[in-house]
Amino acid sequence: MTDTATAQRHVPADLPDRICHYIDGAFVDSLDGGTFDVLDPVSNEVYVQAAAGKKADIEAAVHAARRAFADGPWPRLLPRERSRVLHRIADIVESRDARLAELESFDSGLPLTQALGQARRAAENFRFFADLVVAQADDTFKVPGRQINYVNRKPIGVAGLITPWNTPFMLESWKLAPALATGNTVVLKPAEFTPLSASLWAGIFEEAGLPRGVFNLVNGLGEEAGDALVKHPDVPLISFTGESRTGQIIFGNAAPYLKGLSMELGGKSPAVVFADADLDAAVDATIFGVFSLNGERCTAGSRILVQRDVYDEFVERYAAQAKRIRVGYPHDPATEVGALVHPEHYDKVMSYVEIGKTEGRLVAGGGRPEGFDEGNFVAPTVFADVSPDARIFQEEIFGPVVAITPFDTDEEALALANDTKYGLAAYVWTNDLKRAHNFSQAVEAGMVWLNSNNVRDLRTPFGGVKASGLGHEGGYRSIDFYTDQQAVHITL
């Protein structure tokens, strides 16, 4: 590292010596002693080794989770009793939000202030499902003099949770909270780029009183630990968040076992700006939509479609604002875009920046920001005049890179918005109420934000259509995924 990079790198105090699995209430190494390197994205130096789980480690974790499900108290507790534990988990996460943010920011390169927001959201996920599981009501029907029908809702067993490296702690909580609230036991396989924050769950859960064996964690590579979890016959559920390509592989591998699958996959979401929109708000929101969380956001509005009447003005203002975004070291509270998670991902994003230079008009960024010679830093990059057959229009880049494309009519905007294999989110900016609602109805997206972004009630469905996912999570949909609903019929 250069002297500047060394001076700027912030290494949190009390980092672990190594990152272990957590199986049946104990931190353990891999049975074969295998490990993998974990890098920090500012220096790209190895700062710790993590246990590399294989089939045998998954076997041990599933065995513990199965025993806790078959014989332990957790699935048999009243919802209110489980809810109390979940609220304690939320309390502990909240009380440690600053430390969580520090570690997450160090491990993933997310700006500290944004990592703090994600830690708080993780606590909220636990609080939300703690409340929801107590409020849960199920169908009961009576035909007078004939019959009564009601539903027994039951936890399913061992849930396999496989998560990505973007906002890792928060996304883990989005699966852990409903899986545990409903009485399942779990094996979590976090992303190999960012194992640090996941290792904190064990201590948090122990302190909150989660019984032994209910939560198990196996680190490792997707093709090894993740693959073994997907193919384990005693894991009836897999909740996966990650790339669409990985989702396809998992879908195939789970098929022989007919597992329950929830798939939250990639995106290339359009943000559509009509000429009648509040342009100030649209520029601010679409900047946030693609450059917050380093652009490593599944719902990023990474294709901006702008009506031709305001196109030139929009592009000019957008490029000027993108150039003002503060790229910086992740631990600096003033930083708005930090370092991308890993050199492999950095290379992928940079390759798209180069492709973009042949496919569009570069109006901001286009490489490393000045003053950052090392680490995974990319200047917020904006390409205008991008045609729909361009790779940067079609493919998920998952970094601070955006493509802007003009359109003339509502019909053309809709055709462009739907012209990718993905269908996760869409953003619409217009002051015409009818157009906003009609466009929402027609656009192929699991979620639509009208004149807004980054607001979401956790009771609403979260998920995508087309290559962006299968099934929905959020509110009762998560409860449904993690439970069996047995119908009981009685003749009167």
Task: Break the chain down into helix, strand, coil percent, rounded to 5.
Answer: 45, 20, 35
Give the residue with the Cβ less far from ligand NAD, 83 or 246.
Answer: 246
How many whole angstroms separate alpha carbon 363 and alpha carbon 140? 60
What is the spatial distance between Cα 100 and Cα 98, in angstroms, rounded to a whole number? 5
- Residue 463 and residue 264 in contact, taking contact as beta carbons nearer than 8 Å: yes
User: What type of residue is 404?
Assistant: I
**Shortest Å distance, C-beta 246 to ligand NAD:** 3
Secondary structure element (H or E) that encloses residue 155, with its range: strand 147-155
427 close to 326: Cβ distance less than 8 angstroms: no
What sign results for the dihedral spanned by CA atoms 121, 124, 128, 130? Answer: positive
Three-state secondary structure call for residue 491:
strand
Q: How far is the CB of 292 from ligand NAD (least distance, A)?
A: 14
Beta bridge partners of residue 426, listed in sequence order: 448
Write out the residues near ligand NAD by the rule CB under 6 A. 162-166, 171, 189, 191-192, 221-223, 226-227, 230, 241-243, 246, 249-250, 264-267, 298, 396, 398, 424, 464, 469
Residue pair 61/21 in contact (Cβ under 8 Å)? The answer is yes
Residue with tokens 């064990």: 202
Amino acid at 395: E
What's the one-letter identity of residue 392?
Answer: I
Q: How far is the CB of 33 from ligand NAD (least distance, A)?
A: 20
Choice between 192 and 374, CB closer to ligand NAD? 192
Output the smallest distance, CB 66 to ligand NAD, in A.
Answer: 20
CA distance 138 to 428: 36
Strands 158-162 and 185-189: parallel
Q: Is there a contact between 417 and 426 (Cβ–Cβ < 8 Å)?
A: yes
Residue 390: CB atoms within 10 A of its CB come to 19
* Minimum distance of ligand NAD from residue 174's CB (angstroms): 8
Instruction: State in angstroms the smallest separation of the CB of 447 from ligand NAD.
Output: 10
Closer by beta carbon to ligand NAD, 9 or else 268: 268
Q: Which residue is nearest to ligand NAD (CB)?
A: 222
Of 96 and 231, nearer to ligand NAD (C-beta) is: 231
- CA dihedral (110, 114, 118, 119) positive or negative: positive
Instruction: Report in angstroms how near the CB of residue 437 gets to ligand NAD at its nearest.
Output: 24
Active site residue 298: yes
Q: Which is nearer to ligand NAD, 183 or 264 (CB)?
A: 264
Specify the residue, 102 or 172, whose C-beta has the smaller distance to ligand NAD.
Answer: 172
> What is the closest distance, in whole angstroms, from the C-beta atom of residue 45 to ligand NAD in the complex?
21
**Nearest distance from residue 152's CB to ligand NAD, in Å?**
30
Q: Which two tokens stand for residue 175?
A: 């699966």
C-alpha to C-alpha distance for 193 and 168, rounded to whole angstroms: 10
Surface-to-core class of residue 294, CB atoms within 10 Å of its CB (0-12 exposed, 13-18 middle, 19+ buried): buried
Q: Kindly report the CA angle at 228 between 182 and 217, in degrees rounded to 5? A: 50
Q: Which of 104, 192, 224, 264 is catalytic?
A: 264
Residue with Cβ nearer ligand NAD (321 or 394): 394
Q: Which is nearer to ligand NAD, 182 or 241 (CB)?
A: 241
Out of 192, 298, 444, 473, pick the active-site residue. Answer: 298
In DSSP notation, 339-363 reads --S-HHHHHHHHHHHHHHHHHSEEE
SS3 163: coil
Helix (H) or strand (E) holding 37: strand 35-39
Looking at beta carbons only, is 130 or 447 nearer to ligand NAD? 447
Of 164, 162, 166, 163, the residue nearest 114 (C-alpha): 166
Mind telling me the catalytic residues?
264, 298
